[in-house]
Amino acid sequence: MPGQTWTGATVTFVGMWMVMMVAMMLPSLVPMLGRYRRAVGHAGEARLGRLTISVGAGYFFVWTLLGLAAFPVGVMLASFAMQVPAIARAVPVATGAIVMLAGALQFTTWKAHHLACCRHSPGCVRSLRTDAATAWRHGVRLGIHCTHCCAGLTVLLLLVGVMDLRAMAAVTAAISLERLAPAGQHVARAIGILLIGVGCWMTLTSL
């Protein structure tokens, strides 16, 4: 914004980004923290609370890094769109294509692997020591799996606008359903079909 420094703009964006991410990811993070607490339940109650906080901090640290990476890219693309009319005219078609790609991503084995880890399949379980460093690393691993699993939906949110409450609610519902529903993989594919359909409609209406 006019008169705003890069530092101030970045801090403002990251602060907003983290508030949004906590609100959106908390429904699916709470069960993962519960599984962690059961895995290290032999630790004392006070220590278990501190370890759980460390896991959450590591998890949201990864999301913070993603926000820091997304901010300059978003500024650059917005600047190009404002300065080059041809790019501005291509934005609606490109947006529809990206929505379709996000839908197709829902069907990949890459998505299935990271979704399984977020749902805590046996192949992703690791023995955990009850120390802060291990808790932090476990949170970082969860965050990495989560950002990979949510890559398509996160890009959609950035395209629509991170301050759009309807988009936030829709993405939160999609993420929570594919993580928490009994047939999460089927839910993920249903979301993929919906996104491909919406992307096709957006592309056709913008031509």
With b meaning 16 or more CB within 10 Å and e meaning fewer, what string describes 130-147? eebebbbbbbbbbbbbbb
Question: 135 with 54: CB under 8 angstroms?
Answer: yes
1 within a domain of the structure (yes/no): no
67 within a domain of the structure (yes/no): yes
196 within a domain of the structure (yes/no): yes
Packing angle, helices 132-149 and 6-39, rounded to 10: 110
- Report phi then psi at 121, rounded to 5: -70, 160
How many domains would you assign to the chain? 1
Predicted TM-score (pTM) of this structure: 0.85
> Which tens digits make up the pLDDT trace of 30-52?
988 888 888 887 766 678 888 99
140 within a domain of the structure (yes/no): yes
Q: In terms of residues, how long is the chain?
A: 207
> Which tens digits make up the pLDDT trace of 70-123?
888 887 877 777 777 777 777 888 889 999 999 999 999 999 999 988 887 544
Q: Which residue range is the domain that position 27 belongs to?
A: 6-206
Question: 172 with 23: CB under 8 angstroms?
Answer: yes
78 within a domain of the structure (yes/no): yes
117 within a domain of the structure (yes/no): yes
> Which tens digits make up the pLDDT trace of 166-197?
888 899 999 999 999 888 899 999 999 999 99
Question: 24 with 168: CB under 8 angstroms?
Answer: yes
